[in-house]
Structure 1
Amino acid sequence: MSSFYAQRGLWNNAKVIQEVVLEKRKQSHGDDHPDTLTSMGDLASTYSKQGLWEKGETLQDVVLEKNKQLLGDDHPDTLTSMNNLAWTYSNQGLWKKAEALQDVVLEKNKQLLGDDHPNTLTSMSNLALTYSNQGLWKKAEALQEVELEKSKQLLGDDHP
């Protein structure tokens, strides 16, 4: 039900349901269960979309640390958590913090998935945007050129 509300931008309705679900999952599964962490990440995202940056950041930080602890630094869920926290930093104008996390995500994706994987290309694009937001035009342009060239190779010139 919360995803129904979230898809329609009814963030407060989604938040109320997500808060209840998170508490129920903590009670039934414990704080470290993957379902609990997923619920926590969903709620963190909803907080951020409501502009409740500190609440979102705090929860995302918890999810990231628990994923690192339970799954390791290289697990896809850990990298997703890292990317989500970077997104929250970006939306607050905390470019250096966002850049640091996005740089790690990009390097891990290159290492684990290869230079041409769609997740790696998305990571490049995210980091390039963060460079651009900081006025680091040459770094942004260089990374965007690599990302564009690899995307063309992967998807073809006519892909939207």
Structure 2
Amino acid sequence: MLQQVGVGGVLGPDHPHTLAIRGNLATLRGRTGDVTGAAAAFAELLEHMVQVLGAGHPRTLTIRSNLASWRGRAGDVAGAAAAYADLLEHMVQVLGPDHPDTLTTRSNLATWQGEAGDAAGAATALVDLLEHTVRLLGTDHPQVPVIQNNLAYWRKEAEKAPGLSGNDRS
């Protein structure tokens, strides 16, 4: 695919612009309906990013997030939740618990946890995230109402099936 659009020939396969274009192409692939292809493209890109930049590089972490998201969109919601849980550990180690990307990863983890059937777990994670965000950024930060909205949604979902977690649902 990269050869079709002339990517990688001039700058080389390891150039940051080439890697960014590969990520953009993978995203566009998913947005045009090929979510499985997008996940596969991000998986290939991730392998390359780890080799070129290392596993702890912020751009590599972003690709891991994109891969987890597209896997979830392709139907592997439990896999997406597990990937975000693993990614969160690395985000905290590399970027710290207060970094905006770490906070976003916590939100994404809660979403996929809920999508995987653990609405109560998602709500609990969002309560913690909301408290952390307010403490860190204040009540007027634009992310606060977003988190509050997501929390309300997952609390409502948890009320629909009290006591059930993702492992108990069929």
Q: TM-score with structure 1 length normalisation? A: 0.81
Q: 1:33 aligns with which of 15, 19, 28?
A: 15
Conserved? CA contact 1:83–1:102, under 8 Å: yes
Query: When the two structures are aligned, how many residues end up with a matched partner?
Result: 142
* More contact order relative to length (CA 8 Å, sep ≥ 6): 2
| RMSD over equivalenced CA pairs, Å | 1.8
Percentage of pairs with the same residue: 36
Counterparts of 1:72 and 1:145 in 2: how far apart (Å)?
33
Question: Cα distance, 1:63 vs. partner?
Answer: 1.0
Larger relative helix fraction: 1
Counterparts of 2:50 and 2:2 in 1: how far apart (Å)?
25
Deviations 1:21-53 (A, max 9, x none): 874232112223222111111000001011112
Q: How does 1:1-160 map to 2 (within 5 A)?
A: 23-160=5-142
Q: TM-score with structure 2 length normalisation? A: 0.76
Runs of 4+ in 1 over 3 A off after TM superposition: 19-23
Conserved? CA contact 2:46–2:60, under 8 Å: yes
Counterparts of 1:94 and 1:114 in 2: how far apart (Å)?
28
Answer with 42-51 or 52-61: which moved more: 52-61
Counterparts of 1:136 and 1:57 in 2: how far apart (Å)?
23
